[in-house]
Protein backbone atom coordinates (compact mmCIF):
# COMPACT_ATOMS: atom_id res chain seq x y z
CA UNK A 1 0.00 0.00 0.00
CA UNK A 2 2.87 2.43 0.76
CA UNK A 3 4.87 2.86 -2.42
CA UNK A 4 7.48 5.56 -1.75
CA UNK A 5 9.79 6.39 1.18
CA UNK A 6 12.31 9.05 2.13
CA UNK A 7 14.38 9.78 5.23
CA UNK A 8 16.14 12.68 6.92
CA UNK A 9 18.59 13.04 9.80
CA UNK A 10 17.57 14.18 13.30
CA UNK A 11 20.66 16.26 14.05
CA UNK A 12 20.68 16.16 17.87
CA UNK A 13 20.55 12.33 18.02
CA UNK A 14 22.01 11.44 14.59
CA UNK A 15 19.06 9.06 14.21
CA UNK A 16 16.76 9.05 11.21
CA UNK A 17 13.19 10.07 10.48
CA UNK A 18 11.69 7.83 7.80
CA UNK A 19 8.45 8.63 6.01
CA UNK A 20 6.65 6.19 3.70
CA UNK A 21 3.74 7.29 1.54
CA UNK A 22 0.85 6.06 -0.55
CA UNK A 23 0.09 8.05 -3.70
CA UNK A 24 2.68 10.80 -3.16
CA UNK A 25 4.69 12.82 -5.67
CA UNK A 26 8.09 11.41 -6.58
CA UNK A 27 10.01 14.46 -5.33
CA UNK A 28 11.42 15.05 -1.85
CA UNK A 29 8.54 16.22 0.35
CA UNK A 30 8.17 19.90 1.21
CA UNK A 31 5.49 21.97 2.89
CA UNK A 32 4.14 22.71 -0.60
CA UNK A 33 3.88 19.06 -1.69
CA UNK A 34 0.43 17.62 -2.38
CA UNK A 35 -0.92 15.58 0.53
CA UNK A 36 -0.54 11.81 0.04
CA UNK A 37 -3.36 9.40 0.91
CA UNK A 38 -1.38 7.89 3.81
CA UNK A 39 1.92 8.60 5.55
CA UNK A 40 3.82 6.29 7.90
CA UNK A 41 6.27 8.23 10.09
CA UNK A 42 9.11 6.37 11.84
CA UNK A 43 11.18 8.47 14.25
CA UNK A 44 14.43 7.74 16.08
CA UNK A 45 15.50 5.01 13.63
CA UNK A 46 19.13 4.15 14.31
CA UNK A 47 21.16 4.16 11.13
CA UNK A 48 24.32 2.62 12.56
CA UNK A 49 22.74 -0.17 14.62
CA UNK A 50 20.69 -3.16 13.54
CA UNK A 51 17.70 -2.34 15.77
CA UNK A 52 15.97 0.81 17.00
CA UNK A 53 14.54 0.20 20.48
CA UNK A 54 13.46 3.84 21.02
CA UNK A 55 11.79 4.19 17.63
CA UNK A 56 8.21 5.40 17.33
CA UNK A 57 5.71 4.91 14.51
CA UNK A 58 2.60 6.83 13.54
CA UNK A 59 0.25 6.35 10.60
CA UNK A 60 -1.56 9.37 9.16
CA UNK A 61 -4.76 8.75 7.20
CA UNK A 62 -5.33 11.82 5.04
CA UNK A 63 -7.81 10.00 2.80
CA UNK A 64 -9.99 9.08 5.78
CA UNK A 65 -10.73 5.44 4.99
CA UNK A 66 -7.91 3.56 6.72
CA UNK A 67 -8.45 4.49 10.38
CA UNK A 68 -12.18 5.11 10.28
CA UNK A 69 -12.11 8.65 11.63
CA UNK A 70 -8.96 9.90 13.36
CA UNK A 71 -6.19 11.47 11.29
CA UNK A 72 -3.39 9.67 13.11
CA UNK A 73 -2.66 6.61 15.17
CA UNK A 74 0.49 5.73 17.12
CA UNK A 75 1.90 2.21 17.13
CA UNK A 76 1.75 0.36 20.44
CA UNK A 77 4.78 -1.77 19.53
CA UNK A 78 7.60 -0.96 17.10
CA UNK A 79 10.23 -3.41 15.81
CA UNK A 80 12.62 -2.08 13.17
CA UNK A 81 15.58 -3.98 11.77
CA UNK A 82 18.10 -2.19 9.57
CA UNK A 83 19.05 -4.23 6.51
CA UNK A 84 21.45 -1.73 4.90
CA UNK A 85 22.46 1.92 5.12
CA UNK A 86 24.85 4.24 3.28
CA UNK A 87 25.38 7.79 4.57
CA UNK A 88 23.34 10.11 2.33
CA UNK A 89 22.42 6.99 0.32
CA UNK A 90 19.51 4.59 0.63
CA UNK A 91 18.40 2.76 3.74
CA UNK A 92 16.53 -0.55 3.87
CA UNK A 93 14.44 -1.58 6.85
CA UNK A 94 12.22 -4.45 7.90
CA UNK A 95 9.38 -3.25 10.13
CA UNK A 96 6.74 -4.85 12.29
CA UNK A 97 4.36 -2.35 13.83
CA UNK A 98 1.42 -3.13 16.07
CA UNK A 99 -1.51 -0.73 16.22
CA UNK A 100 -4.70 -1.05 18.24
CA UNK A 101 -6.49 -1.99 15.02
CA UNK A 102 -3.92 -4.45 13.61
CA UNK A 103 -0.35 -5.23 12.61
CA UNK A 104 1.71 -3.79 9.76
CA UNK A 105 4.75 -5.68 8.45
CA UNK A 106 6.97 -5.02 5.49
CA UNK A 107 10.14 -3.83 3.84
CA UNK A 108 10.95 -0.13 3.43
CA UNK A 109 13.52 1.20 0.95
CA UNK A 110 14.03 4.94 1.55
CA UNK A 111 16.25 7.49 -0.14
CA UNK A 112 17.73 10.56 1.54
CA UNK A 113 15.94 13.93 1.35
CA UNK A 114 17.41 16.92 3.14
CA UNK A 115 13.90 18.38 3.44
CA UNK A 116 13.23 15.77 6.17
CA UNK A 117 16.28 16.75 8.24
CA UNK A 118 15.41 18.16 11.66
What pLDDT band is residue 87 in, cutting at 50, 70 and 90? confident
Task: Report the pLDDT value the prediction gives residue 116, as an integer from 0 to 100.
Answer: 95
- Phi, psi angle pair for 62, to nearest 5°: -75, -25
Pairing between β-strand 38-45 and β-strand 15-22 as defined by DSSP bridges: antiparallel
Task: Report the pLDDT value the prediction gives residue 22, as an integer from 0 to 100.
Answer: 94
pTM confidence score: 0.93
Q: Rank 2-11, 58-67, 68-77 by mean pLDDT and report only the highest.
A: 2-11
Task: Report the pLDDT value the prediction gives residue 90, as an integer from 0 to 100.
Answer: 95
Query: Contact, 99 vs 73, CB < 8 A?
Result: yes
- Listed residue (105, 87, 108) closest to 8, CA to CA: 87
Is the confidence at residue 1, as pLDDT, over 90?
no
Is the confidence at residue 95, as pLDDT, over 90?
yes
> Please, which residues have CB within 8 angstroms of residue 97's CB and are 6 or more apart in sequence?
40, 57, 75, 77, 78, 79, 103, 104, 105
pLDDT tens per residue across span 14-60: 999 999 999 998 999 999 999 999 999 999 999 889 999 999 999 99
Amino acid sequence: MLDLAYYGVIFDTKNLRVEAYARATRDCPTSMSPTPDYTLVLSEVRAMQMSSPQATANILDFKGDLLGGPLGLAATSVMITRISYQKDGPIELEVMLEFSSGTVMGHIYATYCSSLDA
